[in-house]
Every structure is written in structure tokens, then in C-alpha cells.
Amino acid sequence: MSHLSLEAELYFQELEAEKDAALAAEQTITNTLDRALKAQDTDLLLTLIPYIETGEGHLAYKYRGEIHRILRMLHIIELEQKYQKELFSSGCTCKDSLWEKYMLALFAFRRLLFQLSDTSVEEAASYLQRADLSVFAVYVILKDDLIVPDDSLYEQIISICSNHWDSGDIRLLLTLVQSEETATADSSRNDSLSRTGNTPISK
């Protein structure tokens, strides 16, 4: 048996053994989201972060890609609560409405990025103006959902969101972007040094 076949067999054996626990954890996550969002109970909502990261919910995270995005949303909300911004969960009354808000934002960003038509760009801009997304929501979705933004995309987003962002929000986004670009450049440089046998530079 090839190494790849063996790995696949072991994965499916593990999946079968953990399937029931993973499904139960996913149901717990859904039920908690629905309860917390219906009551607009942010503290209850954020109890799901440790549940998913270090508790029984990690099994749902392990096998269900949807849970990765849910955890991403929870981290966005956690940052917004900490810095007293409008919560991403505002106006959402259940898991499905929270999920829809995330996906609509993601599709809007992709429309701005790919510029398929003037109409698609206008619709994306219209949605983002209404959505009142925080800087944290914009940054996390762009960074973690397989979008490779360039400066022009950030410029478009800043222009669109300027109706509900102040100068501090714009500076915060630019700082986050610059920090990410610096970290990426450092990582690339260290990888290159490692391949040539030199010692990576640590800061």
C-alpha cells in the first residue's frame, strides 16, 4: 500500500471513529449561535471561541470547513467588542443570517477584486455601504479567505466605507495591512535564506 493510500485510509478510519462526536459538537455550535444571536448575547456568543479552539468543538472544526469561517466571525466580533465597534453580529438573529452576512461581504470583496463588470462593482459597493462593516471585519475576511488584495482594492474599500469610518479606522486598516506585508516579506526573506543555507534573521 502506498504512503498516500495509507494516509487516506487512516484519515477515514479516524473520521468514522469521531463522526458522532463531531456532529454533536457542530449541533452545539449551531444551537449556541442561534440562542446567542436571538438574544443578542455577545458574551454567550464568544464562549464558542474556547469551545471550538480547545474544547469539544475542535472536532467540528477539524472536519467541517464551515466551522473555520464561524470561528473567524467570532474573532471579528471579539475584536469589535474589545474596541467598541459596531458588532458584525448586529442585526443577525440566527446562525443562517450571520453566515449570509459573511458570504455577502466575501462575494462583494471578490467582485471589487475581479472587476467583471461595472454593474457587479456597483452592486458590491452598494452592499458594503449598507453593511457597515468594521475595519476588523474587512481585514480578517480579506486576509483569511483566500483573497490576495492589492493597494487598489484597499483604496476602493476605504472610499466605499468612508461614510461610516473615521480617520482613526482608516489609519488602523492601513497599519494592519502594513504589518501583514512586513510579516510576509520577512517570512519570504527567511525562507530564501534557509534554502541557501544561511541563518534566517530573527527580530
SS (HEC) of the chain: CCHHHHHHHHHHHHHHHHHHHHHHHHHHHHHHHHHHHHHCCHHHHHCHHHHHHCCCCHHHHHHCHHHHHHHHHHHHHHHHHHCCCCCCCCCCCCHHHHHHHHHHHHHHHHHHHHCCCHHHHHHHHHHHHHHCCCHHHHHHHHHHCCCCCCHHHHHHHHHHHCCCCCHHHHHHHHHHHHHHHHHHHHHHHHHHHHHCCCCCCCC
State the sign of the Cα–Cα–Cα–Cα dihedral 110, 113, 117, 119: positive
Q: Which three cell numbers stand for residue 168?
A: 482613526
Best CA proximity match to 149, nearest among 176, 112, 122: 112
Nearby residues of 104 by Cβ (< 8 Å), 6 or more positions away: 127, 131
The pLDDT, as a whole number, for residue 203 is: 42
Domain boundaries, the chain: 3-189
Entry pTM: 0.83
Residue 18 binned pLDDT confidence (cut-offs 50, 70, 90): confident
CA distance 95 to 64: 15
113 neighbors 149 (Cβ within 8 angstroms): yes
Distance CA 163, CA 105 (A): 17
From 56-65, 116-125, 168-177, 193-202, the region with the lowest mean pLDDT: 193-202
Q: Count CB neighbours of 130 within 10 A.
A: 11
Can you give the pLDDT at residue 180?
A: 77
Of residues 185 and 173, which shows the higher confidence score?
173
Predicted pLDDT of residue 48 = 98
Banded pLDDT at 7 (limits 50, 70, 90) = confident
Average pLDDT, the chain: 88
Residue 71 CA to residue 78 CA, distance in Å, equals 10
- pLDDT of residue 45 exceeding 80, the answer is yes
Spatial separation of the C-alpha atoms in residues 78 and 136, rounded to whole Å: 10
Would you say residue 64 has pLDDT above 80? yes
pLDDT digits (tens, 9 = 90+) for 150-167: 888 999 999 999 989 999
* Tens digits of residue pLDDT in 75-132: 999 999 999 999 999 999 999 999 999 999 999 999 999 898 999 999 999 999 999 9
